[in-house]
Amino acid sequence: MDNSRQLFQYILSGLSNGAIYALIGFGFAIIHNATGIINFAQGEFVMLGGMFTLFFVAFLNLPLIPAIILAILVSTIVGIVFERLAVRPLKNAKPLSIVIITIGASILIRGIAMLVWGKDTHAVPAFSGSNPLYIVGATIMPQHLWIFAIAVLIIIGNKIFFSYSIIGKAMRACAYNAQAASLVGIDVKTMVLFSFIISSAIGSLAGIIIAPLTMTSYDVGIMLGLKGFCAVIIGGMSSGLGTVLGGLLLGLLESLGAGYLSASYKDAIAFIILLLILFIRPEGLFKKKETERV
Amino acid sequence: MNLPQAKSEKGAAAVLRIKNITKIFGGLTALEDVSFEVKDGSITGVIGPNGAGKTTLFNIVTGLYSQTSGDVYLGDKNISFFAPETLAGMGIVRTFQNVELFSEMTVLENVMVGLHTKSKSGIISCAFKLPSQIKEEKYIKEKAMHWLEFTGLADHADIEAANLPFGKGRILEISRALAVEPQVILMDEPAAGLNSLETSQLAMLIKRIRQSGITIVLVEHDMELVMNVCDSIVVLNLGKKLAEGTPREIQENQEVIAAYLGEG
Amino acid sequence: MTKEKREIIIFSIFTLAVLIIPFFLRGSYYLNVLVFIGINTLLAVALNLLLGYAGQISLGHAAFFGLGAYISGVLTTRFGLDPWLVLVIAAAASGSLAFIIGFPILKLKGHYLAMATLGLGIIMYIIFNETVAVTGGPSGLSGIPNMHLGALIFDNDMNNYYLIWIITLIVMLLSINLSQSRIGRALRAIHNSEVAARVMGVNARILKVQIFTVSALISAVAGSLYAHTMTFISPASFGFNFSVELVTMVIIGGLGSIYGSFLGAAILTVLPEFLRVLQDFDIIVYGLLLIIMTMYLPGGLINGLQKIVEFAAGKVGKRGGSGA
Ligand SMILES: Nc1ncnc2c1ncn2[C@@H]1O[C@H](COP(=O)(O)OP(=O)(O)O)[C@@H](O)[C@H]1O
Ligand SMILES: [Mg+2]
C-alpha cells in the first residue's frame, strides 16, 4: 500500500512537472516555427512569470488574480521589447549569431532579475491554500489540480487559436513558407512579433503556476527552459500533442528516476534524454524524417 | 561483379550513368525513373522547366541527397549513396545554382580548398609546420594560382569572395571545382544572372574545360548557350525524362516544344 | 611571403612582451591576474578553433576544462601520481571523451548543437557535484600539489606565470600554424558553407570531430594547469556560466583570431576586477557585451583594432607619400 501510494505521488508530480515542461516547450515551438530561431531566453520568461507574481503579491500586496494578470502582462512586454531590440534587427543573421544574441539576452534578463530581486529563493503562495486533498488514499496538493486545469486550458486554447483564428492560421502559413505567406499579404514581421507575445505569455504563465510548488529565484529559468526544450525536441518542434506527450514523458521519467534511482541525478536525467533524442531522433519521436534542403 | 562498360555507337565510353533514378519528397515525386548516360569528354545538357528536378538530380549524383530508388554509376562503379567528399575524391564535383562560395575567404583560398583532395597533411603536420606540409602548401598555392589564371580570375586572387561581383563569383565556383581535377563537373545554371558578355565568356570557358578532357553536365535555362555548347541534351519535365538527343533533335521535338510552350 | 613574415614578426613581438612583462611586475598582484589571463587565453584559443574556425558552437566547454582539472586533482591527491603524468592523462581522457561524443553531437547544427553541448556541460557539472566520494562534491577538492620541474616548484606567481605562458604561447603558435594550413582553410570552408566544403572533398564530419577533440584536449590541459596552480578546485568554476564566459571571450576578441582570443581572455579576466563594485552583477555586462558585439561588431575587438591600425597606417602612408 505504501509503495503504491509513493508511486502515485511520483506519477502525480511527474505529470504536473511534465505539463509545465510542455507549456514551456510550446513557447520554443511557436517562436521557432515563426522565425527558425531557438530562443535561448525562453526560460527567462518562465522565471519572470513567477518572480513578478511574487513581487506583485508580496511587495505590492495585490490579490493573487490581478498579480498574475499583471505578471503575465509585464513578462509579455519584456518579450516584445526583446523582439524589437534584439530579434527584429537581425534579419539574415547566421544561426551562430542568433544563438549568441538570445543567450546574451537570457543572461541579461537573469542578471537584471538578480539585481532587482536578489539571489534568494522565494516561496510563492499556492493559489488555493496548501492543505493537501486526500483522494483514494493518496495526497494531492490543490496546486497540482490548478496546474493540470490551466495546462489543459492552454493546450486547448492553443489548438483552437492555431486551427481556427485568422492570426493563428496566418502564423502557421508563415511557419510553413514565410515568402509565400508574405506574397499573399500576410505581414510576416507582425506574425513574428505575435509569436514572441504568445510564447512569452505562455512561458510566464507556466512559471506562475509552478512557482508555488517549486519556489522561485532569479535563476530557475535555465533549468526549466532546458527541460521545456527537451519536451519540444521529443515532440518534434510542434506546439501540439507531440510536445505535450514529450513533456509528460520527460516529467514522468524524471520523477520516477529521482524517486527510485537517485534524487541527486534528477536534472541529469532530463539532459541525458535530451542528448539521446538529439542523437538518435532529432526530428522527434513522432515525426517522419525529411530530406534537409541544401 | 564487373559490369561491361557501356559503349556508344561512336565508341566513347559512358563516364556517368544515371539508372532509373526516383526521388520522392514526402508526397512529392521530384524524379521518376530517370535514366541517361553521359559520354566521356562530352558536354551533356540537362534542361527543363523550373521544378523539373534538375537540381535534385545533381544533389543525388553528388551525394547530397539519397535517391528513393535507382543507381548512379561512375564508369563501372556503382556510386549510389557515396558521400559528397568521397565522390570529390573520385572526380565528381559540381557548382551550385545559388552560388555557394566560402564568402569570408579570399578568392585564392576558395580555390585552395578545391585542392583539399590533392593534399594530405593532417592536423599534426599542419600545426608543427613539418617540411612535407610546407612543400605541400607551396604546391597548393601554385596550383590554385594556375586555375585562377586558367579562368581569368588571377587578378582577383586576394579579394574576399563576398566582395566579388556576382558574375565573377560564378566563375570562382568553376575555378574551385576545377582545382579538384575532376572527371566530371556538374554545373547548375552557371549562366543565371550573367549578362550577355559574361555568358559568351562562360561558353568559351566551358569549351576550354571540355578540351582539357573534363566531362561536363550542364543544367541551364539559357537555350542559346545550351544549343551552342552541348553535344547531347536530356529534357526533364515534372520529374520525368521527356526526351534525349542532339541539340537539333531536341529543338525539333514536338513534345519538348509543347512542354516549354505550356510553361509559358 | 610578406604576409608570413609579418605573422612571424607579430608573434615574436608578442612572445617577447609576454616574457619580459614579469620583470616590471615583480611581486605584484597583477602577476597573479596575468597567470589567469594565460589560462583563459588557452581556453579561448581552444574554443576559437571550434567556434571561430569551424563555426561549431559549444556551450559546454567548461566541462572539458573541469574534467582536466578534476582528473589532475583526483589522481594527484588520491593516488599520488606525478602532476606532469596526470596532465597528459587528463588531456588524453578529455580528448577521448570529445572524440566519442563528437560523432553524434557534431551531426547537429546551429541551435541544436548549442543545446546539446549545453546539456553535455550540465551533465558533467552534475557529475562533478554529485560524485562526492571522488571529487569532494560542492565543497571542492583541496591539497592539489603544484607542478614541478626537478627541484623547481611552481608555487608562486612568477614561476606559474612562466609555466602557463610558455605552454600558452606554444599552443597559440601551433594554432596559428594550423589556421593557415589546408586544415585551417577546410575548417573555415565548413564554417562558410558545409555543403560546398563537402563537395570539394572536405570530410566535414571527421574534421569537425578532430577539431572538437583538439579543442577539448587543450581545454583539459588548461584545467590541469589551473588545478595545480590553484591547488583547490570546486564545481562552481566549471558550470554553465563559465561556458558562456568562454564564448564571450571568443566573440569579444574576434571569431577566428588567435590574438583576438588573447584579447577577449584578457578583457574578461580583468573586467571582473573593475566590476567588483557590481559583485555578481557582472553577468549583466556579459549579456550586454554579447548582444552588442554580435550585433554591431561581429568581427570582434581585434577586427576593430585592425581597422583602426590600417586606417592610421593609411593616413601616415599618405602623409609620407605627399611629403616625398
Ligand atoms: N529537400 C527537399 N524537400 C522537399 N522538396 C524538395 C526538396 N528539394 C527539392 N524539392 C522539390 O522537388 C522539385 C524539384 O526541384 P528542383 O530539383 O530544385 O527543380 P529544378 O532544379 O529543376 O528547378 C520541386 O518541386 C522542389 O520543391
Ligand atoms: Mg534548380
The CA distance from C143 to C90, in Å, is 18
Q: What average pLDDT does the segment A216-225 reach? A: 91
Q: Domain limits at A212?
A: 2-280
Pocket test for ligand 1, best of B25, B31, B66, B186 (most atoms within 8 A of CB): B25
Whether residue A285 lies inside any domain: the answer is: no
> Are B139 and B14 part of one and the same domain?
no
User: Going by CA atoms, what residue is nearest to atom 16 of ligand 1?
Assistant: B53
The CA distance from C18 to B171, in Å, is 46
> Are B86 and B140 part of one and the same domain?
no
Burial class (CB in 10 A: 0-12, 13-18, 19+), A177: exposed
CA of C32 to the centre of ligand 2 (A): 60
Chosen from B65, B95, B102, B188 to mutate, greatest number of chain A CBs within 10 A: B65
C313 pLDDT higher than 80: no
The CA distance from C174 to C161, in Å, is 20
pLDDT digits 0-9 by tens, C110-168: 889 999 999 999 999 999 999 999 999 999 999 999 999 888 888 888 899 999 999 99
Pocket test for ligand 1, best of B55, B97, B221 (most atoms within 8 A of CB): B55
pLDDT band at residue A285 using 50, 70 and 90 as cut-offs: confident
CA of C107 to the centre of ligand 2 (A): 26
Q: Domain limits at B118?
A: 102-163
CA of B35 to the centre of ligand 1 (A): 18
How many CB contacts within 8 angstroms connect chain A with chain C? 122
CA-CA distances (angstroms) from residue A185 to A30, A89, A180, B63, C35? 21, 22, 9, 38, 59
Chains linked to B by 3 or more Cβ pairs within 8 Å = A, C
Q: Where are the alpha helices (DSSP H) in chain A?
A: 2-35, 42-54, 64-82, 95-117, 142-164, 166-176, 178-183, 188-214, 220-234, 241-256, 266-280
C173 pLDDT higher than 70: yes
Q: Which residues contact B51 (CB under 8 A, 6 or more apart)?
A: B238
Contact of C199 with chain B, judged by CB distance below 8 Å, is answered with yes
Nearest ligand to the C-alpha of residue B61? Answer: 1
Whether residue A294 lies inside any domain: the answer is: no
DSSP H or E stretch at residue B23 = strand B14-25
Shortest distance, CA C260 to any CA of chain B (angstroms): 17
> Are B72 and B147 part of one and the same domain?
no
Contact of B64 with chain A, judged by CB distance below 8 Å, is answered with yes
pLDDT of residue B262: 61
Shortest distance, CA A294 to any CA of chain B (angstroms): 8
* Domain C-terminal end among B163, B181, B202: B163
Q: Which atom of ligand 1 is nearest to the CA of B189?
A: 21
pLDDT of residue B1: 43
Contact of C244 with chain A, judged by CB distance below 8 Å, is answered with yes
According to DSSP, the residues that pair with A140 across neighbouring strands are: A133
> Are B77 and B116 part of one and the same domain?
no
Task: Identify the closest residue of chain C to A39 by CA–CA distance.
Answer: C111
User: Going by CA atoms, what residue is nearest to atom 18 of ligand 1?
Assistant: B55
CA of B58 to the centre of ligand 2 (A): 9
The CA distance from A1 to A231, in Å, is 32
Task: Identify the closest residue of chain C to A32 by CA–CA distance.
Answer: C111
Phi, psi of C226 (to 5 degrees): -60, -50
The pocket around ligand 1, CB under 6 angstroms, is made up of A 291, 293; B 25, 28, 30, 48, 50-56
> Are B196 and B82 part of one and the same domain?
yes
Whether residue B253 lies inside any domain: the answer is: yes
CB A50 within 8 A of CB A113: no
> Are B153 and B171 part of one and the same domain?
no
CB A251 within 8 A of CB A19: yes
pLDDT of residue C324: 34
pLDDT band at residue A186 using 50, 70 and 90 as cut-offs: confident
User: Going by CA atoms, what residue is nearest to atom 7 of ligand 1?
Assistant: A293
The CA distance from A146 to B31, in Å, is 53
Question: Domain total for chain A?
Answer: 1
Is pLDDT larger for residue A246 or for residue B4?
A246
Whether residue B64 lies inside any domain: the answer is: yes
> Are B171 and B73 part of one and the same domain?
yes
The CA distance from C27 to A85, in Å, is 47
Cβ–Cβ gap A294/B25 under 8 Å: no
Whether residue A291 lies inside any domain: the answer is: no
User: Going by CA atoms, what residue is nearest to atom 2 of ligand 1?
Assistant: A293
Q: What average pLDDT does the segment A22-49 reach? A: 92
Is pLDDT larger for residue A143 or for residue C283?
A143
Report the 10 Å Cβ neighbour count for C278.
15
Burial class (CB in 10 A: 0-12, 13-18, 19+), B35: middle
Strongest mean pLDDT among A8-17, A128-137, C300-309: A8-17
Q: Where are the alpha helices (DSSP H) in C80-156?
A: 83-105, 110-130, 132-135
C-alpha cell at C82: 606525478
User: Going by CA atoms, what residue is nearest to atom 11 of ligand 1?
Assistant: B30
Cα of first residue to Cα of last residue in chain C, in angstroms, is 27
Whether residue B1 lies inside any domain: the answer is: no
Interface residues from chain A to B (CB-CB < 8 Å): 288, 290-291, 294
Nearest ligand to the C-alpha of residue B190? Answer: 2
State the pTM of this model.
0.92
> Are B120 and B247 part of one and the same domain?
no
Report the 10 Å Cβ neighbour count for C9.
10
Cβ-based contacts of C195 with chain B (< 8 Å): 64, 84, 96, 100
CA of B60 to the centre of ligand 2 (A): 13
Whether residue A263 lies inside any domain: the answer is: yes
> Are B230 and B145 part of one and the same domain?
no
How many CB contacts within 8 angstroms connect chain B with chain C? 103
CA-CA distances (angstroms) from residue C180 to B121, C175, C187, C298? 12, 9, 10, 21
- Which amino acid makes up residue B90? M
The CA distance from C230 to C247, in Å, is 23
DSSP secondary structure string for all residues of C1-15: -HHHHHHHHHHHHHH
Cβ–Cβ gap A279/C105 under 8 Å: yes
Contact of C103 with chain A, judged by CB distance below 8 Å, is answered with no
pLDDT digits 0-9 by tens, C52-72: 999 999 999 999 999 999 999
C318 pLDDT higher than 80: no
Q: What mean pLDDT value characterizes chain C?
A: 91
pLDDT of residue B6: 45
Whether residue A250 lies inside any domain: the answer is: yes
pLDDT of residue C55: 94
CA of A189 to the centre of ligand 2 (A): 29
Cβ-based contacts of B98 with chain A (< 8 Å): none
User: Going by CA atoms, what residue is nearest to atom 26 of ligand 1?
Assistant: B51
Phi, psi of B94 (to 5 degrees): -150, 170
Whether residue A289 lies inside any domain: the answer is: no
DSSP secondary structure string for all residues of A260-280: II-GGGHHHHHHHHHHHHHHH
Low-confidence residues of chain B: pLDDT under 50 = 1-9, 264
Dihedral sign, Cα of residue B175, residue B179, residue B182, residue B186: negative
Cβ–Cβ gap A111/C283 under 8 Å: yes
Chosen from B24, B54, B64 to mutate, greatest number of chain A CBs within 10 A: B64
> Are B11 and B42 part of one and the same domain?
yes
Whether residue B86 lies inside any domain: the answer is: yes
Question: Domain total for chain B?
Answer: 2
Q: What average pLDDT does the segment C22-29 reach? A: 81
> Are B134 and B229 part of one and the same domain?
no
Cβ–Cβ gap C116/A278 under 8 Å: yes
> Are B14 and B91 part of one and the same domain?
yes
